[in-house]
Copies of this chain bind each other. A is one copy, B any other.
Amino acid sequence: MTRDVHVVGAGMIDFGELYDQSFDDLLESAYLELLDDVDHGVDPTADIDAAWYGTIDMAGEGSSGAAVAHATGLFEKPITRVENACATGSDAFRNASIAIRAGTADVALVIGAEKMLDDTAGLIQSAALERLWRGRGVTMPAFFGMRATRHMEEYGTTREQIAEVSVKNHANGTKYPHAHQQFECSVEDVAESPTVSYPLNLYDCCPVTDGACAVLLASEDRAEEFTDRPVRHAGWGLSTDTFQRGADAALTNFPASRHASSQAYERAGIAPDDVDVAEVHDCFSITELVTYEDLGFCGEGEGGRFVEEGHTRLDGDTPVNPSGGLLSKGHPIGATGVAQVAEVYEQLRDEAGAVQVDDPQVGLQHNIGIGRNATGAVSCVNVFERP
């Protein structure tokens, strides 16, 4: 029997176009926010045993654990860098939690950061899609756009229903202080925004954003040193899959999300309808709509109706992305999953301010990513329970 693990603090910086901050600045800012957030305080050198660090190193300067040692002063400690495409932050979190469970650390830092707007970002975004696909014009929006048209064809999902995701998340984002692009938009605004890759328009796409986030984890026997209201990490799942499944590829779902969430639900001993609040991966509006189905929040093909009926709004029965999601908040890749954990932590402590949902008991965090190239997918899901 291994130990339970709890989140005991979270430090988030304002996401945005942070040209005035270096990569080290981002790490340091998130870390200092975390130290400031821990209810009973933390003595870093004495308390923190190890760290896991997520970045895809988009700007080509953040690789290896030494970056975190220098930004935090946590010298001599074990610091592991994890990279797993868009699930980088959530998988760094997963590895840290597992290590505490194993007893190799009592208290661990998880920190994620990305500078998306410097240097090589465009180059790498392009390189993320395999030669075969890139040569045929399959950029990221095109790849997700194809999923949207297929979902429309297969299930009668409408352009308006897809836009409802953007409308909801941008409305939430105006109330979330750390969100990058804070503006409200209507279904018409989304439909009339410039086409990026049919049917996805500009407001269907998350912005390109710099950011960082840090959370602190502790074993069940140490958690109360740091807060009276720790949030339990109840379950987790990670799945690495392929899009090259030949005839059995539905193209309307992400099997990796299904496998990762099944693992997480099983570990947590819960069912999808136990989830009271979720931060999910809406890199594009269609991604969130499909994710409702993959996580079991609604049935196959019902994602469009589910968002249209308001189930996932702040006051719905299954609020999704109260923070504004990637669409409003932005998607600094290594930070994204860590920030979702921080947001669920705040929700389950009733500290989410203007975006607080009503009395959530169980929260979920989800990422889906295109791993290495357009033929591979990765998804990571973490489930949390309120104190």
Contact = CB atoms under 8 A, between A and B. Distances in A.
Interface string A75-110: 111111111110000010011001101111000000
A74 B376 CA distance: 12
Contacts of A62: 372
Contacts of A70: 242, 372, 375-376
A109 to B, nearest CB: 12
Chain A interface main SS type: mixed
Nearest to A61: B372
Contacts of A94: 80
A253 to B, nearest CB: 14
A33 interface: no
A361 interface: no
Find the residue from A64, A75, A82, A375 having the highest chain B CB count within 10 A.
A64
Interface residues of A, number: 54
A167 interface: no
A212 interface: no
**Identical chains bound together, number:** 2
A106 B67 CA distance: 32
Given A70-B376, A371-B64, A238 B98 contact: no
Contact of A240 (B77, B241, B263): B77
Given A70-B242, A80-B82, 19 more contacts: A63-B85, A63-B372, A65-B84, A65-B240, A66-B371, A69-B371, A70-B372, A75-B240, A76-B240, A76-B241, A76-B256, A76-B259, A77-B240, A78-B238, A79-B378, A80-B94, A83-B83, A95-B99, A98-B102
17 contacts: A2-B102, A56-B63, A64-B83, A64-B84, A64-B369, A64-B372, A66-B241, A66-B372, A69-B242, A69-B371, A75-B242, A76-B239, A76-B240, A76-B241, A76-B255, A78-B237, A99-B102
